[in-house]
Structure 1
Amino acid sequence: MTFSGRWSVRLLATCAVAVMGVATQVPAARAADAVTLNIVDVAGDLQLTQKGFEAFKAKYPNMVSNITYTNAPAPQLPGKIKAMQAAGRSDIDLVLTGTDALAAGIEQNLWLKLLPDQASAFPGVLDRYAPGPRKMQDLAQGFGLEVAYMPAGPLIEYNPAKVSNPPKTPDQLLRWCKAHPDRLIYARPANSGPGRTFLMGLPYVLGDKDPMDPIHGWDKTWAFLKQLNDCIPYYPGGTSAVMKELGEGTRDMTVTVTGWDINPRALGIVPADYRVQSFDNMTWVNDAHYMVIPKGVPKEKLDVLFKLMNFMLEPAQQALTWDDGYFYPGPAVKGVTLEQAPAHSQDVLKKYGRPEYPKLIAERPYALPLSAQAMVAAFQKWDREIGAQKTK
Structure 2
Amino acid sequence: MTFSGSLSVRLAGLWVAVGAAFGATFAAPAWADPVTLNIVDVAGDLQLTQKGFEAFKAKYPNLVANITYTNAPAPQLPGKLKAMQAAGRSDIDLVLTGTDALAAGIQQNLWIKLLPDQAATFPGVLDNYAPGPRKMQDLAQGDGLEVAYMPAGPLLEYNPAKVGDPPKTPDQLLQWCKAHPNKLIYARPANSGPGRTFLMGLPYVLGDKDPRDPIHGWDKTWAFLKQLNDCVPYYPGGTSAVMKELGEGTRDMTVTVTGWDINPRALGIVPAEFRVQGFDNMTWVDDAHYMVIPKGVPKEKLDVLYKLMNFMLQPAQQALTYDDGYFYPGPAIKGVSVEQAPAHSQEVLKKYGRPEYTQMLTAHPHVLPLDAAAMVAAFQKWDRDIGAQKSQ
Q: Deviations over 1:328-358 (max 9, x none)?
A: 0000000000000000000000000001001
Correspondences of 1:176-195 after superposition (within 5 Å): 176-195=176-195
State whether structure 2 residue 67 is matched by structure 1 residue 67. Answer: yes
2:73 & 2:367 partners in 1: Cα distance? 26
Q: Find the counterpart in structure 2 of residue 320 from structure 1.
A: 320
* SS of equivalent residue, structure 1 residue 101: helix
Give 2:125's aligned amino acid. V
- Does 355-364 or 155-164 show the bigger shift? 355-364
Q: Find the counterpart in structure 2 of residue 11 from structure 1.
A: none
1:110, distance to aligned residue in structure 2 (A): 0.4
1:27, distance to aligned residue in structure 2 (A): 10
Q: Find the counterpart in structure 2 of residue 247 from structure 1.
A: 247
State whether structure 2 residue 186 is matched by structure 1 residue 217. Answer: no
State whether structure 2 residue 102 is matched by structure 1 residue 102. Answer: yes
1:361, distance to aligned residue in structure 2 (A): 0.8
* SS of equivalent residue, structure 2 residue 215: coil
Q: Find the counterpart in structure 1 of residue 267 from structure 2.
A: 267
State whether structure 2 residue 127 is matched by structure 1 residue 127. Answer: yes
* SS of equivalent residue, structure 2 residue 331: coil
1:364, distance to aligned residue in structure 2 (A): 1.0
Give % identity.
87
- Does 26-35 or 98-107 show the bigger shift? 26-35
1:31, distance to aligned residue in structure 2 (A): 9.0
Q: Find the counterpart in structure 1 of residue 298 from structure 2.
A: 298
Q: Find the counterpart in structure 2 of residue 369 from structure 1.
A: 369
1:28, distance to aligned residue in structure 2 (A): 6.7
State whether structure 2 residue 105 is matched by structure 1 residue 76. Answer: no
Correspondences of 1:32-43 after superposition (within 5 Å): 33-43=33-43
The runs of at least 4 aligned residues of structure 1 exceeding 2 Å deviation read: 26-32
2:173 & 2:333 partners in 1: Cα distance? 36
1:275 & 1:71 partners in 2: Cα distance? 29
Unaligned regions of 5+ residues in structure 2, if any?
6-29
1:27 & 1:202 partners in 2: Cα distance? 60
Q: Find the counterpart in structure 2 of residue 5 from structure 1.
A: none
1:363, distance to aligned residue in structure 2 (A): 1.5
Give 1:298's aligned amino acid. P
Q: Quick check: 1:31–1:61 contact (8 Å CA) kept in 2? A: no
Give 1:171's aligned amino acid. D
Instruction: Provide TM-score, normalisation by structure 2.
Output: 0.92
1:186, distance to aligned residue in structure 2 (A): 0.2
2:68 & 2:332 partners in 1: Cα distance? 24
Q: Deviations over 1:53-106 (max 9, x none)?
A: 000011111011100000000000001000000000000000000000000000
* SS of equivalent residue, structure 1 residue 369: coil
RMSD over aligned Cα atoms = 1.3
1:207, distance to aligned residue in structure 2 (A): 0.4
Unaligned regions of 5+ residues in structure 1, if any?
1-25
Q: Quick check: 1:31–1:62 contact (8 Å CA) kept in 2? A: no
* SS of equivalent residue, structure 2 residue 95: strand
1:261, distance to aligned residue in structure 2 (A): 0.2
Rg larger in 1 or in 2?
Answer: 2
* SS of equivalent residue, structure 2 residue 291: strand
* SS of equivalent residue, structure 1 residue 39: strand
Correspondences of 1:1-392 after superposition (within 5 Å): 33-392=33-392
Q: Quick check: 1:31–1:65 contact (8 Å CA) kept in 2? A: no
Q: Find the counterpart in structure 2 of residue 17 from structure 1.
A: none
1:289 & 1:27 partners in 2: Cα distance? 39
Residues matched between the structures, number: 367
1:33, distance to aligned residue in structure 2 (A): 1.3
1:209, distance to aligned residue in structure 2 (A): 1.0
1:27 & 1:47 partners in 2: Cα distance? 36
Q: Quick check: 1:168–1:277 contact (8 Å CA) kept in 2? A: yes
Q: Find the counterpart in structure 1 of residue 8 from structure 2.
A: none
1:120, distance to aligned residue in structure 2 (A): 1.1
* SS of equivalent residue, structure 1 residue 138: helix
1:32, distance to aligned residue in structure 2 (A): 6.0
* SS of equivalent residue, structure 1 residue 339: helix
1:299, distance to aligned residue in structure 2 (A): 0.5
* SS of equivalent residue, structure 2 residue 37: strand
